[in-house]
Structure 1
Amino acid sequence: MRGLGTEGTMATANDRAVLQTIFNPSTPFGDIPGLDDEEEEEAQEEGEAFAPELLEQVRDLELQGVSAAESGDVSTALERFSEAIRLLPERASGYNNRAQALRLRGDVAGALRDLDVAIRLSRGCGHAACQSFVQRGLIHQLQARQEDARRDFERAARLGSAFARRQLVLLNPYSALCNQMLCEMLGRLRNPGGTGNE
């Protein structure tokens, strides 16, 4: 896997969907349309940019890291992702993976550092960047840094993340007000004799 979300290399679409659910539980399956085609293009570009044997070794380490994280062994996951980064420090996916494991461990500052590196290395394009923007946006949101979260979700949405698009809607105060008014109206329609707040 190239990432603990929809980032994948040799895994099946189902594997990616399961991992997406584990590490991003509020993200639905199939978050990024056209994922397989784009992954093939990215895999080809990576094959041209990195030595094939080294790339295969790094991908294997990342798969081991994902398996470890999936089984709750975050320490081993961090070791595998760090080793992958040591072998190919210019590959964004390793930083994105490690950031997610750091976040699981509660190291938000470390996760943010790795996400910044992943975004820089990916030049803000591709799956590693998309996942990194989403992860960083979620962290900003948890830290009540709504404008920073909005910027990251906007960039992830432009890269195809439906989850980021939904977060942008939730961050929009007018949208929240419209949703509240719609709920009240539907409540009144369901219960014409009540107050609509039941």
Structure 2
Amino acid sequence: MSGLEHLSERDRAVLRSIFDPTATIGDVADDGDQFVDDDEDSTEADKEAAVLFREGVRLAEGGDLENALQTMNRGVEMAPQRAGGYNDRAQLLRLMKRDDDAMKDLDRVLDLTKGKRTKSRALALCQRGVVLRARGSDDDARAAFTEAAKLGSGFAKKQVVELNPYAALCNQMLSQVLRGEKDIQIQL
């Protein structure tokens, strides 16, 4: 017996967050929310668009970015309400160094998923955060990552911690104290 059997799940989450600076309480203390499947293949157009997006991803992975973009454009035209397609195309546009165009697709995803707890929304927020962070807009990036973290994105949770220098400093100091280090070295 470890002596920790009496702790609640939340207490265990707090302990984990102390020992793992990149963990958040939400990593352990799940509130039971699940992502909504926002891209159901309910119509023929949806099914055909899904095939085009998969083909576009395959082409992009093979380095044929222009044909991948043309294929994904056809998918978006075929199923303009399919949020996941805009996410896929935004990722491709980012690979092509077309961040402004990617941001337009991410905005479209966020419009399509407004008020929903969807995987597409979380992915769009993460991509948005990455672009904003690369542009030096850390406050806006933090806001995007924070919303994605609330939706359950582990990647976003880690980015929120990374973007919070005070939390990182506190975690560093606490880890050193718990390891019993006598001379605490603060690294900024």
TM-score, normalised by the number of residues in structure 1: 0.68
2:59–2:67 contact (8 Å) kept in structure 1: yes
Q: Paired residue for 2:38?
A: 42
Q: For 1:130-169, list aligned pairs within 5 A.
A: 130-169=122-161
Q: Partners in 1 of 2:149 and 2:58 — Cα distance?
A: 28
Count how many residue pairs are aligned between Structure 1 and Structure 2: 154
Secondary structure, counterpart of 2:38 in structure 1:
helix
Matches of 1:146 and 1:124, distance apart in 2 = 24
1:123 counterpart SS class: coil
Instruction: Indicate if the aligned counterparts of 1:133 and 1:155 stay in contact, CA closer than 8 A.
Output: yes
Q: CA RMSD for the aligned pairs?
A: 2.6
Residues 131 and 83 of structure 1, relative CA distance in 2, 3 Å threshold: same
Matched, 1:120 2:107: no
Give me the whole-angstrom Cα distance separating, in 1, the residues matched to 2:115 and 2:124: 9
Q: Against the structure 1 CA distance between its residues 180 and 135, is the aligned structure 2 distance closer, same or farther, given a 3 Å change threshold?
A: same
- How far does the alpha carbon of each residue in 1:83-121 deviate from its partner, in whole angstroms, 9 at most, with x for none? 101111222111111110000010111111111111111
Residue type of the partner of 2:120?
A: A
Q: Is the 8 A contact 2:146 2:157 kept in 1?
A: yes
Shift in CA distance, 96/124, structure 1 to aligned 2, threshold 3 Å: farther
Deviation at 1:183, TM superposition (A): 6.5
User: What secondary structure is seen at the aligned counterpart in 2 of 1:90?
Assistant: coil
Equivalent-residue separation in structure 2 for 1:170 and 1:196 (angstroms): 19
Once the two structures are superposed, what CA deviation does each residue of 1:7-66 show, in whole Å capped at 9, x if it has no partner? xxxxxxxxxxxxxxxxxxxxxxxx9x9xxx746x4355x52xxxx211111000001011
Q: 1:133 to 1:124 in 2, by over 3 A?
A: farther
More helix by share: 1
Once residues 162 and 87 of structure 1 are traced to their aligned partners in structure 2, the CA distance between those partners, rounded to angstroms, is: 32
Q: How does 1:24-103 map to 2 (within 5 A)?
A: 38=35, 41-44=37-40, 47=42, 52-103=43-94
Which 5+ residue runs of structure 1 have no aligned equivalent?
Answer: 1-30
Q: Which residue of 2 aligns with 1:17?
A: none
Match for 2:86: what amino acid? Answer: Y
* CA contact 1:65–1:77 (8 Å) conserved in 2: yes
Work out whether residues 124 and 130 of structure 1, in 8 Å CA contact, stay in contact via their aligned partners in 2.
no
Tell me how far 1:186 sits from its aligned partner.
8.0
Q: Is the 8 A contact 1:185 1:196 kept in 2?
A: no
Q: Partners of 1:181 and 1:101 in 2: how far apart?
A: 40
Q: TM-score, normalised by structure 2?
A: 0.71
State which structure, 1 or 2, has the greater radius of gyration over its C-alpha atoms: 2
TM-fit CA distance, 1:181: 3.0
